[in-house]
Structure 1
Amino acid sequence: MNRTIELVKTIYEIKQLEEFHEPQIALAGRSNVGKSSLVNRLAGRKSLAKISSKPGKTRSLNYYRVQPDGFFLVDLPGYGYAKCSKTEREKWGRLIEAYMTANPALKAVVVLLDSRLTPQKLDLELTSYLRGLGIPVIPVLTKADKPKQRERAALQTQWRDILQQLRLPLLFSSKTGMGEEKLWSILAEYADVAVPKPDSLESGDETN
């Protein structure tokens, strides 16, 4: 399927939040986990989402409309490494909380996790927070081309057990395209749009 991803809205303050009727799936993760690279890989463009050498560049909610599927990907500010004031971090926190707790269109949150790292405190806190709100978590292990297969498999199992999910977290690489089609299928599943699913979607294996 030929898809297009277009940035249609950038929000910095709670008062700018508005209701969209289309389903939404948010993207969340640490500031250097590769969210912008993932967006660009899905879009087939190198510069749709800005990639910076300084972690924490995304300081807004960025709404990307996916066509023809008819849902939004909403890129949230990264956490963990952003060099900014405590006041600004608290502002982001309030904005994200307002977005997540008063948004019936939000169907799930893709939590991006660095496949080179063991589960981190901030990632555990985020996934616990989302589960407490009753928001489905879609775990995606980024930069999956870098670790060895054995290390990736062990981390997949560890996160599956932490999140108490049946499906293994998806392995994804913006560099090689690993997991790209599976991710599209999972996004379509949660957004409840009709997109054919590959036979291996539930297996958690590494075929693409």
Structure 2
Amino acid sequence: MKVTQAEFVISAVGPDQYPEDALPEIALAGRSNVGKSSLINRMINRKNLARTSSTPGKTQHLNYYRINEELYFVDFPGYGYAKVSKTQRQVWGKMIERYLLERETLKMVLLIVDLRHPPSKDDELMYDWLKHYEIPICVVATKADKIPKSRWQKHVKQMKEGLLMRKTDSFVMYSSETGVGKDELWAHIESIAGLNQEENDQPESEQTAE
């Protein structure tokens, strides 16, 4: 996808704040320091639209980013951060669970993991939960640039086996530093969100005019 417009819309804490324009939504879930904000910024070719922080756990709401007036990225609070209180984690958990189960415009969840390490227990729990509720999922393994290319496949195998990934689920190896996996991930998002189909369904005259 060629991104020509991207904007932060809202930090939502409940359904009454979610956008009502019915655009497809792609959610991003992962532990607090896995690089979700960096992934978003690389995907939309912006340096700091999604704010990165050296303090894990900073994202405390569902952060909506609208892209090309065609879809949203919805950034979840990071999980697995010990300094966040148990009460706060429970509040986040209920908010996220309600969103995942009730949001009709949700098309897919990107489960962001760190390619350098085996999946955490939280990663495994999130993957299993999404599979249980039959929510479309794509596992995105970040920080590929931190590993020599000769060891990529070893780490991919480690991640897939650790999550007990189904063969039908998509997996993208990614680097926010080098852009590895960016085009592949966009192609998958466009397909899931139905953006390619919408473009193909236009009359030929309209496509030519564009």
5 Å-filtered alignment, 1:1-208, equals 1-13=2-14, 15-17=16-18, 19-67=20-68, 70-81=70-81, 83-161=83-161, 162-166=164-168, 169-194=171-196
Distance 1:165 1:20 in 2: 34
Shift of 1:16: 3.2
Shift of 1:157: 2.9
User: Conserved in 2, the CA contact under 8 Å of 1:3 and 1:67?
Assistant: yes
Distance 1:29 1:72 in 2: 17
Shift of 1:124: 0.4
Of stretches 40-49 and 125-134 in structure 1, the one that deviates more from structure 2 is 40-49
Unaligned runs of 5+ in 1: 196-208
Name the Cα RMSD after superposition: 1.9
Amino acid at match of 2:184: K
Q: 1:45 to 1:131 in 2, by over 3 A?
A: same
Corresponding residue SS for 2:48 = coil
Shift of 1:147: 1.4
With structure 2 as the length reference, what TM-score do the two structures score? 0.85
Percentage of identical aligned residues: 41
Count of paired positions: 194
Larger CA Rg, structure 1 vs 2: 2
With structure 1 as the length reference, what TM-score do the two structures score? 0.86
Corresponding residue SS for 1:139 = strand
User: Conserved in 1, the CA contact under 8 Å of 2:137 and 2:170?
Assistant: no
Shift of 1:14: 5.1
Corresponding residue SS for 1:131 = helix
Q: Which has the higher helix share?
A: 2
Corresponding residue SS for 2:196 = coil
Unaligned runs of 5+ in 2: 198-210
